[in-house]
Amino acid sequence: MAPLISDIPPQPKTASEKEVFENLWSIRPCFVYSEEYDDCTSIKGRFHQYFIHGQSIDCTQWKRDFDNCVRFEKNPSDSKSALQLIESERLRRTERLEAHYRNDVWKKRDQAPEDWAKPLPECMQKEYEQSYLAVKAQELQGKKIPSNDSERSFCVIM
């Protein structure tokens, strides 16, 4: 079980305690690190690694993270273990988002397009009026639903 915020002293005394308190959200429950390690070292995981990377990858970081998490869970004032765990999560997050930040193909928007909420074309509006989604929206709004079932059939045979 992950440490609760209430387990950490409300007024951090040192810089390391303050960093732990600010980044406590990034620490996952300990069982997640254990499951990731077990998955990484399993036969299926090794086969997947060989297929994707051409070789087995090093799984020791998951084991270190699990050990640090258990130490921090047993002793919430152990800021060294917590800081190592936070740094590991930070590196994992940076690696995962690296391609996103290096992307130079798409221009990132600062705001939504001006016409993002314009009405749908008339042909699409007519299709929507007869859709299951439109009928359910009318039900939720308390509007009267057409009772002629022969005109609105949602059954599709492929």
C-beta neighbour count of 105 within 10 angstroms: 4
Residue 17 — pLDDT band, cuts 50, 70, 90?
confident
Q: Is residue 138 part of a domain?
A: no
Q: With beta carbons less than 8 A apart as the criterion, state whether 85 and 69 touch.
A: yes
Q: How far is residue 48's CA from residue 46's CA, in Å, rounded to a whole number?
A: 5
CB count in 10 Å sphere of residue 88: 19
Residue 118 has pLDDT above 70, yes or no: yes
> What's 99's DSSP letter?
H
One-character DSSP codes across 40-93: HHSHHHHHHHHHHHSSPPP-HHHHHHHHHHHHHHH-TT-HHHHHHHHHHHHHHH
Structure tokens at 92: 């994992």
Domain that holds residue 95: 12-102
Place 7 in a pLDDT band, splitting at 50, 70 and 90.
Answer: low
Whole-number pLDDT of residue 149: 55
Q: Is 112 inside a domain boundary?
A: no
List the structure tokens of 134: 């439109």
User: Would residue 151 count as lying in a domain?
Assistant: no
Q: pTM for this one?
A: 0.63
**pLDDT for the residue 87:** 96
Residue 130 lies in a domain: no
Least confidently predicted of 34-38, 43-47, 142-146, 152-156: 152-156
49-96 pLDDT, tens digit per residue, is 999 999 999 999 999 999 999 999 999 888 999 999 999 999 999 999
Structure tokens at 110: 């600062």
How does DSSP classify residue 109? P
pLDDT at 111 over 90: yes
Q: What percent of the chain has pLDDT over 70?
A: 85
**Is residue 46 included in any domain, yes or no?**
yes
From the CB of residue 96, how many other CB atoms can be counted at a distance below 10 Å?
Answer: 9
Q: Classify residue 19: in a domain, yes or no.
A: yes
What is the C-alpha end-to-end distance of the chain, expressed in Å? 48
Confidence (pLDDT) at 14:
78
Rounded to 5°, the CA angle 105-106-107 comes to: 125
Q: Is residue 48 over pLDDT 70?
A: yes
Identify whether 49 is part of a domain: yes
Counting the structural domains of the chain, the total is: 1
For residue 27, being part of any structural domain is answered with yes
pLDDT on residue 10: 56
